[in-house]
Amino acid sequence: MQNLGRSVLAALALIVTATAWGVERNGFDLSDALAPVAEIRGGGPAKDGIPALDHPAFIAADQADFLAPDDRVLGLIRNGIAKAYPIAILNWHEVVNDRFAAEPVVVTFCPLCGAGMAFLATVDGRVLDFGVSGLLYNSDVLLYDRQTESLWSQIMTTAIAGLMKGRRLTMAPVAHTAWADWRQRYPQTLVLSPETGHQRDYGRDPYAGYAQSERVMFPLRFKNRRFHPKEPVIGVTLDGHAKAYPFSELERATTPLADTLGVRPVRIEYDAEHRTGRALDTTGQEIPSVIGFWFAWYAFHPETEVYTAAP
């Protein structure tokens, strides 16, 4: 009987431990999460184990001799200021808290999803700065804001847990392109300096070979094998409608491409040489979109339409 009592107590202890583990990861309370708790996973690093850049330094384009013409960058222009963020640096930091004049902006990159996105960092009139939680949902980075410790899904653009749960970030158009392309477009661009204050080998790609592999490192809520998992797509959402424009389809099409998303006409521009593209409305205004891997877009948008080039 005594042994039975011990067994029951041990089982209860395991249940309590499992329950606590189930609602907390890396110190974040997930009990109110918008995503299934079991699908929010630790990526390996602890909270801030991947250090965000909070005081980024920039150099002139002609000083960026560490960049080759075909090196990938995220390019952002706001308030008349152009900046390039090399993927070689973002691979190691994933988040840059920056300002364009007085406007706070956060630039993010998820190496596992190939997704580079920029957001206005003011939410409900409050300026937020962000770090890397060390957690993933659908293999995509979960950011956290330091003001409220809320967790934000990059691709969902939404806080999924914490005081900010349900709030959305406003996307800023960002170019995911080759350095040669961005520099040609904006010769006066500033470039994120590799002098970050952190000891990282920015000349080494910690994800070498990943984009070519069919392997996805973490479980996904939704899967679709229509394309190679790492097929780059331009993902666009507009008025509740989502559509993916796979590069392999755009390469067979004549661009600019006139299309519709829901009832809204859009124009898709694709640059095969620099492996980039963007979406615009009828006035020529850029619609914020994301270039990322097919598997990641589908995991968050299983209802997505998919552009297919005419035979």
DSSP string covering 174-216? -EEEEHHHHHHH-TT-EEE-S--SS---TTS-TTTTGGGS---
pLDDT digits (tens, 9 = 90+) for 219-274: 999 999 999 999 999 999 999 999 999 999 999 999 899 999 999 999 999 999 99
Question: In this structure, how many other beta carbons lie within 10 angstroms of the beta carbon of residue 94?
Answer: 24
pLDDT digits (tens, 9 = 90+) for 59-111: 999 999 999 999 999 999 999 999 999 999 999 999 999 999 999 999 999 99
pLDDT digits (tens, 9 = 90+) for 104-163: 999 999 999 999 999 999 999 999 999 999 999 999 999 999 999 999 999 999 999 999
- Specify the pLDDT at position 143: 98
Place of tokens 């993902």: 235
Is it the case that residue 212 has pLDDT exceeding 60?
yes
In this prediction, residues 208-213 reach a mean pLDDT of: 96
d(CA 262, CA 62): 44
Is it the case that residue 3 has pLDDT exceeding 90?
no
- Specify the pLDDT at position 24: 76
Domain boundaries, the chain: 28-192, 222-306
For Cα atoms 253, 110, 80, give the angle at the middle one, nearest 5 degrees: 75
User: Is residue 72 a contact partner of residue 87, using CB atoms and an 8 Å limit?
Assistant: yes
CA 204 remoteness from chain centre: 21
In this prediction, residues 169-183 reach a mean pLDDT of: 98
Range with the lowest mean pLDDT among 11-25, 157-171, 232-246?
11-25
- Specify the pLDDT at position 193: 98
SS3 state of residue 240: coil
DSSP string covering 89-144? HHHHH-EEEEEETTEEEEEEEETTTTEEEEEE-EETTEE--EEEEEEEETTEEEEE
- Specify the pLDDT at position 7: 36
Classify residue 241 as exposed, middle or buried by CB count within 10 Å of its CB (0-12, 13-18, 19+).
middle
User: Nearest to residue 171, comparing CAs of 134, 218, 119?
Assistant: 119
